[in-house]
Each structure stands twice: as C-alpha cells, then as structure tokens.
Amino acid sequence: MVNQHSSPARRHYQRATAAQSAAAATPSQQQQGEQYELMAAALWEARRTLKAIKSVQAKIEKKRELLPEFAPYVEGVLAAGQGAQDDVLMSVLVWRIDVGDLPGALGIAEYAMRHQLQTPDRYERDTASLIAEELADQALRMLAEDAPDGPAIAEILQRTEAITAGHDMHDEIRAKLHKALGYAHRAAGSPAEAVEHLRRALTLNERAGVKKDIEKLERELKQHDTTGQPPAQPGA
C-alpha cells in the first residue's frame, strides 16, 4: 500500500504522473497508467480492511486515515483528466462524503458529472442519484449537530442541486436534497428560502417529514411581516 506519509517530492511525482496519464486517457474508457494501477491496488487493500470492521463509526475513522494517500492522485486527475472511467476517483468521492469533507467531495462530483463518469457497480445507483443522496444525507447529519455552518452547507447543496438538475432520479432522492437545502437555509437564517425548498421536498415526497417545519417557518415569516421583527434564529 502507498505510504500516506510520503515526502513532498513523492507526492508531487504521484500527482504529476496521474495528471499525465489522465490527460492522455480516452474519455469514457477505463483509466490506465502507473498511478491508477497503484491506487486501484491500494483501494482493494483498503476495502478489504474496511470490510473487516463492524462499527460504522470505526469505518468512517479508518476512511479518514486512508484518504490522504489518494489525495495526490485525485489532484492530478482533477487537474488534467479527460473523463476516463475511474473507480478510484468515484470511491474517493463517496469516502470524502462519509468523513464529512463535503467541499472535497464536491470537487470530484463536479468533475464526474461534467464527464459523465459512472459509479462502480457496488454502489447500485447512477452518478447523479448517488451524489444527490449521499451529499444530502451527510448534510442532514451535519445540520443535526450543534452550531452547524448553515451558509457553507447551503452553498455545497446549491452546487449539488445545480450539477444534478435535469438528471432523472427517484423523487424521494430529489426530495431529500431539497429537505437538506431547506434545513441548511434555516440554519443560515434564510427562512423564506428554507420554506421554498421544504415545500418542494413535500411536493416530491409527501412523507419527507417536513410539514411541521414548514408550518413553523410560515408562522415565523408571518410574524415578521406583521411585526417587522426578523424570525428567531435556530437555537436562539
């Protein structure tokens, strides 16, 4: 397995050779090259390690520990890639979501959608559906924590919505993305935008579990219109 504590020179070499191979690859064909083969082997070993871990939380921490060794490769592909099919890249996308690195995941997601990359078979969803659902699920978990960064999460989800718009997916997945957007806007202090997304979620899936939140936000907005006082901030 690649040493995740490798020297800056080694990481530069990994990044440069990955970029060179990615630039020379044929779009939609399988990625090739020395670094891809090394990373694919490292991924196989990592997945075998993860399979032996029963605890979900422990799996997440192990992914956090393993991810740095793939970073130079990913940087190289994103910098110069032409859209070759890349299971390493797509796996790192999911792992970054799992550990809460939403900005890092979104960089790969935007590349994947731009080049129409496919997900590895084990994920059992098309790329747009996987990106929308996994990012929404992780955002909802983060928004349930104390003092979430609502504006940052809202921005991530808005970009997620933009890159997956127009792609066919189950209504329940699209509803989950709008639900997460609604809660992110609520946490960011934007109740009108929050209501808009929560209503959309409810339209797409009547069991989205947002009716009471819509009613509460609508009351707050009505109070604001009547009194001129801004709606109360979450947790205030």
Q: Do residues 110 and 221 share a domain?
A: no
Q: How far apart are CA 121 and CA 208, in angstroms?
A: 28
83 and 180 share one domain: no
Range of the domain at 178: 132-236
CA distance 130 to 193: 24
Note whether 116 and 139 are same-domain residues: no
What is the reported pTM?
A: 0.90
Residue 232, pLDDT above cutoff 70? no
Question: What are the residues facing 30 on neighbouring strands?
Answer: 85
Q: Sorting pLDDT into bands at 50, 70 and 90, what band is 145?
A: very high
Phi and psi at residue 119, in whole multiples of 5°? -80, 150
Does residue 100 carry a pLDDT above 70? yes
pLDDT mean across residues, the chain: 93
Rg, C-alpha atoms of the chain = 20
Give the least confident one: 74-78, 113-117, 118-122, 157-161.
118-122
Are residues 99 and 27 located together in one domain of the fold?
yes
How many domains, the chain? 2
Last residue of a domain, one of 124, 152, 186: 124
* Residue range 10-24, pLDDT digits in tens: 999 999 999 999 999
